[in-house]
Structure 1
Amino acid sequence: MNTTYDVRFWKTQMYKGQKVTSHTVRWVVAGKERRESFRTAAHAESFRARLMTAAREGEAFDPRTGLPISWRREESALSWYAFTATYVDAKWPFASPNHRRGIAEALTDATEALLTGGNAPSREMLRAALRWTYSTRIRDGGEPPAELIAALRWLEQHTIPLTAFNEPGKGAVLARAVLGRISRTKEGKLAAGNTANRKRMVLNNAMEYAREIGALPANPLKAVKWTKPRTLSAVDPRTVINIEQARRFLRAVQKHSRRGERMEAFFGCMYYAALRPEEVVDLRREHLVSLPDDGGWGEMRLTNADPRAGSRWTDSGKPRERRALKHRADGETRPVPIHPELVALLRAHLERFGAGPERRVFVGPRGGQMTDRAYLKVFHEARAAAFTPQEAASPLMDVPYALRHAAVSTWLNAGVPAPQVAEWAGHSVNVLLRVYATCIHGQGREAMRRIWDATQP
């Protein structure tokens, strides 16, 4: 390998465009000018300082790469973009559609912090190219859309080499830049704590994968002290409705329209049986084990859910993809009691509308699968009609999922043992008590009476 000690440094150059500002480190090795661009001045100065330190210490430079010999940075080094594509390829077959989407969101944000060079395509074009890389490329294969080719080629050449995370000083700066980016939204505002923590978990898993395949000797994120954002895990009791409010809402749904008549039992399953929306969407006639006509309790046994992730992330290319129950293995079922009022709603619904395609209990207005758009419109309009102005302006039952929260809260406040509630709701006991601790009311006086009795002579 040819080496040289003929190295000179020029002043860092800043270019301020309409959307992007770049900082270019310039130096000359054996008479040939070298350039390296960065998004921030701190990254540029850190890189320049390391080059100058190597030159002052008498280290030889490689005329071909323009870098110190000790860095051993080859042009063929695995880039961050190429690594993320490899990582997603490995994860895709085993991840749920929603998890695939979460991986893509985290990697897209992280990549924005690891770009190099100027003359970049627009931010929207780069993000679209990354979404294609992390989804359609894997599922459908083939050539990318013509409008994304230039952006994809730019990404292939202008993300940092993965080995940069190994370089003393620079690795920690890059890791902190990535963590900083995922802690903010696309618009630059602080992201919700749950969002930042979820993306941090994805990136940590990606770095562990890099370590497993030998691309990195260690996980660089573990070398950075990062304050984990506080998250709200408990249900807000202000969103939980009582039985009187629930009945008002269901009556408003029934009176809403012909479409609403089809959805009264749909929302009733969320309130009386604590079903998740994706579980109600997948409810089949065979899941209704018992619907007695004598006013008694019935029973359902759930087998699957049909969560919505978006057509980009499913194997079928459809917005929803049927899967096992949440927190359950394939083939595992969940029993749920059917409240007598819900029995009446379901019997009336089936007598009037029957079962739809694939024996679905609930279908959309046009006979197809129930969509979010269809039931959300009815939900919000019926909520406004059923509630008083003060209730409607409050967080009370602000989303359909709040109906499930109300059901679980009712069971717990009725004194049903936590293990039984957890089984019906599809939770672990620990998660159940953590999430619904703030919604358990009316037991304080009884608890104090028991303590008083226990402490009497």
Structure 2
Amino acid sequence: MSSYDVRIHAILTNELSGRKKSYTVRWKVAGRPFRDTFATRALAESFRSKLVVSQREGVAFDKASGLPEPMARALNTRSWLEHAIAYVDMKWPRASAKHRKGIAETLATVTPALLMTDRGVPNDKALRAALYGWAFNKSRRDAGDPPADLTTAVRWLKGNTVDLAALTDATLVRKALDTLALRIDGAPASPATIARKRAVFSGALKYAVELRLLDTHPMSLVSWTAPKTADEVDRRAVVNPDQARALLAEVGRAVPELEAFFGCMYYAALRPEEVLHLREDEYERPAHPGGWGALHLTGSTVAVGRYWGDSGDTAEDRELKHRGKTATRDVPVPPPLVRLLDHHLNEYPSGPNGRLFVTRRGPGGRYVPTAGQPIPNNTYGKAWRGARAKVLTAAQQRSPLARRPYDLRHAAVSLWLNAGVPATQVAEWAGHSVHVLMRVYAKCVYGAEEAAKNRVEAALALQESQPSY
């Protein structure tokens, strides 16, 4: 709290023993008395003059310390590292494990741009390990001192990041933003990555304003434009039905327990984390042979690493994307996916937790359920890369075509739209809003432009045929 009700009194001289004196500056803020004593009159007069100048210039005074707000902030200033750690701790309890990792990654990226000196600085690898692996991971930091291999880097960082007040320098803020626009290897980051990291950095600075450690948000001082984010799906990444079937068949030949896993992405447009969360009781079989089934989705399973979640597991169960914790989503299962899922369940019984897709191991190529651990990202990623290498031509492998398993979901949604399924229904099945659906997939709707031209042409022909009077 602050106040403009300030009264500054004359300096009080104090007689001490041995002919010594001290000098006390006295003032009141909102009726509350404050005082500070100095060894010499010159020091007392200098301090009092600062109070007087602030009062004349209409600067608010902090009620707690009695000082003008700029002086109070300087008194309570903290280093960038201290503030960044405080920001992590504030966000940690309510953030998902994936969001915690994102915050730590951003702060670890930007902190090397906010150092006071490069004298004695540890190498880049050591700095990142100290920041991402310990300082910005509350669980590991709360466990005790940093590991021996990080101690030197952590100690150096604690004494060598700039004071938070230094971020009122627009040049420094621009340097930080430019750093966020680069990958670790120095190449430009993607527009989506830059936007995500900029939002985290902005949040940390906003928290400083909220704590009244800064007057204004430092980014408001800088005219810095982030690269445009391309929301649209690259149509070059979208496989056609023949290519999709060939890729799934190759997965079925090489890694058979994953064919239905990828099938769920292509035939039902599931996200990988939704497939990992799928349980046997969420699969509703068709009412009659050759019919359609249904999937009743209840959540997602996200790989997060051992030290980012609250349970200590490497994966975290979350709600469906963009939905509440108890929300569900129903997705139809066409006959080709019914066949894949039924075959999968016959060959590979679900794990102890009911999950359809868990890590499996066994001699002679016979796979058996493990304790129910979700399939690691690198496991299904390797299987997909192997299928691409077998099915696609050399030119196609160099292209974006089905480069990621996620591109199967894009192919499914594009197929639905091009088949004439209403956008509202596609959005419901895919777990999007209609607005996001059309913004992201607009370029993947084949024939829409030609159909529009035909309708305009027909309308013009109708007008020309009408008699004019």
Cα deviations across residues 347-393 of structure 1 (Å, max 9, x unaligned)?
11112222112011112233342112221222111222223444334
Contact 1:204 1:221 in 2 (8 A): yes
Could you say if the C-alpha distance between residues 136 and 85 of structure 1 is closer, same or farther in structure 2, counting changes exceeding 3 Å?
closer
Residues of 2 paired with 1:355 and 1:75: CA distance?
61
Choose which of 133, 136, 145 in structure 1 pairs with 2:135: 133
2:300 equivalent in structure 1: 305
The within-5 A match list for 1:372-411 is 372-411=377-416
2:29 equivalent in structure 1: none
Instruction: Please state whether the residue corresponding to 1:307 is helix, strand or coil.
Output: strand
Residues of 2 paired with 1:363 and 1:123: CA distance?
37
Instruction: Please state whether the residue corresponding to 1:408 is helix, strand or coil.
Output: helix
Contact 1:297 1:339 in 2 (8 A): yes
Contact 1:350 1:361 in 2 (8 A): yes
1:12 equivalent in structure 2: none
* The 10-residue stretch of structure 1 (180-189 or 237-246) with the greater mean CA deviation from structure 2: 180-189
Residues of 2 paired with 1:172 and 1:377: CA distance?
45
Contact 1:291 1:347 in 2 (8 A): no
Cα deviations across residues 273-330 of structure 1 (Å, max 9, x unaligned)?
0001111111101111233451011111100100122223222232211100111110
Could you say if the C-alpha distance between residues 238 and 2 of structure 1 is closer, same or farther in structure 2, counting changes exceeding 3 Å?
farther
The within-5 A match list for 1:116-131 is 116-117=116-117, 118-131=119-132
Residues of 2 paired with 1:448 and 1:414: CA distance?
19
Residue 90 in 1 paired to residue 90 in 2?
yes
Contact 2:291 2:335 in 1 (8 A): yes
Question: Post-superposition shift, 1:426?
Answer: 0.9
1:200 equivalent in structure 2: 198
1:274 equivalent in structure 2: 269
Residue 262 in 1 paired to residue 239 in 2?
no
2:331 equivalent in structure 1: 336
Query: How many pairs align?
Result: 386
Could you say if the C-alpha distance between residues 391 and 128 of structure 1 is closer, same or farther in structure 2, counting changes exceeding 3 Å?
closer
2:418 equivalent in structure 1: 413
Instruction: Please state whether the residue corresponding to 1:335 is helix, strand or coil.
Output: strand
Matching residue's letter, 2:180: I
Residues of 2 paired with 1:315 and 1:76: CA distance?
32
Residue 183 in 1 paired to residue 189 in 2?
no
* The 10-residue stretch of structure 1 (406-415 or 146-155) with the greater mean CA deviation from structure 2: 146-155
1:238 equivalent in structure 2: 236
Contact 1:137 1:144 in 2 (8 A): no
Question: Post-superposition shift, 1:417?
Answer: 1.0
1:37 equivalent in structure 2: none
* The 10-residue stretch of structure 1 (278-287 or 191-200) with the greater mean CA deviation from structure 2: 191-200
* The 10-residue stretch of structure 1 (299-308 or 385-394) with the greater mean CA deviation from structure 2: 385-394
2:67 equivalent in structure 1: none
Instruction: Please state whether the residue corresponding to 2:374 is helix, strand or coil.
Output: coil
Residues of 1 paired with 2:124 and 2:92: CA distance?
25
1:435 equivalent in structure 2: 440
* The 10-residue stretch of structure 1 (215-224 or 152-161) with the greater mean CA deviation from structure 2: 152-161
* The 10-residue stretch of structure 1 (191-200 or 395-404) with the greater mean CA deviation from structure 2: 191-200
Cα deviations across residues 195-232 of structure 1 (Å, max 9, x unaligned)?
11211111111111111111111101111000121222
Instruction: Please state whether the residue corresponding to 2:262 is helix, strand or coil.
Output: helix
Instruction: Please state whether the residue corresponding to 2:228 is helix, strand or coil.
Output: coil
Instruction: Please state whether the residue corresponding to 1:301 is helix, strand or coil.
Output: strand
Contact 1:179 1:200 in 2 (8 A): yes
Give the CA RMSD over aligned residues: 2.2
Residues of 1 paired with 2:438 and 2:41: CA distance?
67
Instruction: Please state whether the residue corresponding to 1:317 is helix, strand or coil.
Output: coil
2:357 equivalent in structure 1: 362
Matching residue's letter, 1:402: D
Matching residue's letter, 2:135: T
Question: Post-superposition shift, 1:137?
Answer: 4.4
Could you say if the C-alpha distance between residues 389 and 158 of structure 1 is closer, same or farther in structure 2, counting changes exceeding 3 Å?
closer
Question: Post-superposition shift, 1:75?
Answer: 7.7
Question: Post-superposition shift, 1:436?
Answer: 0.7
Instruction: Please state whether the residue corresponding to 2:295 is helix, strand or coil.
Output: strand
Instruction: Please state whether the residue corresponding to 1:327 is helix, strand or coil.
Output: coil
Could you say if the C-alpha distance between residues 138 and 364 of structure 1 is closer, same or farther in structure 2, counting changes exceeding 3 Å?
closer
Instruction: Please state whether the residue corresponding to 1:211 is helix, strand or coil.
Output: helix
Matching residue's letter, 2:192: N
Residue 159 in 1 paired to residue 154 in 2?
no
Could you say if the C-alpha distance between residues 399 and 99 of structure 1 is closer, same or farther in structure 2, counting changes exceeding 3 Å?
same
Q: Radius of gyration: which is bigger? A: 2
Contact 1:81 1:156 in 2 (8 A): yes
Question: Post-superposition shift, 1:3?
Answer: 8.8
* The 10-residue stretch of structure 1 (139-148 or 236-245) with the greater mean CA deviation from structure 2: 139-148
TM-score normalised to structure 1 length: 0.80
Question: Post-superposition shift, 1:235?
Answer: 0.8
Cα deviations across residues 144-186 of structure 1 (Å, max 9, x unaligned)?
21222232222222111112234xxxx2122111112111222
Residues of 1 paired with 2:165 and 2:85: CA distance?
16
Could you say if the C-alpha distance between residues 298 and 147 of structure 1 is closer, same or farther in structure 2, counting changes exceeding 3 Å?
same
1:109 equivalent in structure 2: 109
TM-score normalised to structure 2 length: 0.78
Contact 1:194 1:231 in 2 (8 A): yes
Could you say if the C-alpha distance between residues 85 and 443 of structure 1 is closer, same or farther in structure 2, counting changes exceeding 3 Å?
same
Matching residue's letter, 2:125: E
Residues of 1 paired with 2:128 and 2:41: CA distance?
40
Contact 2:73 2:214 in 1 (8 A): no
The within-5 A match list for 1:212-223 is 212-223=210-221
Could you say if the C-alpha distance between residues 215 and 385 of structure 1 is closer, same or farther in structure 2, counting changes exceeding 3 Å?
same
Q: Percent identity?
A: 46
1:444 equivalent in structure 2: 449
Contact 1:413 1:441 in 2 (8 A): yes
* The 10-residue stretch of structure 1 (376-385 or 323-332) with the greater mean CA deviation from structure 2: 376-385
Residue 146 in 1 paired to residue 141 in 2?
no
Residues of 1 paired with 2:41 and 2:116: CA distance?
26
1:253 equivalent in structure 2: 251
Residues of 2 paired with 1:330 and 1:91: CA distance?
19
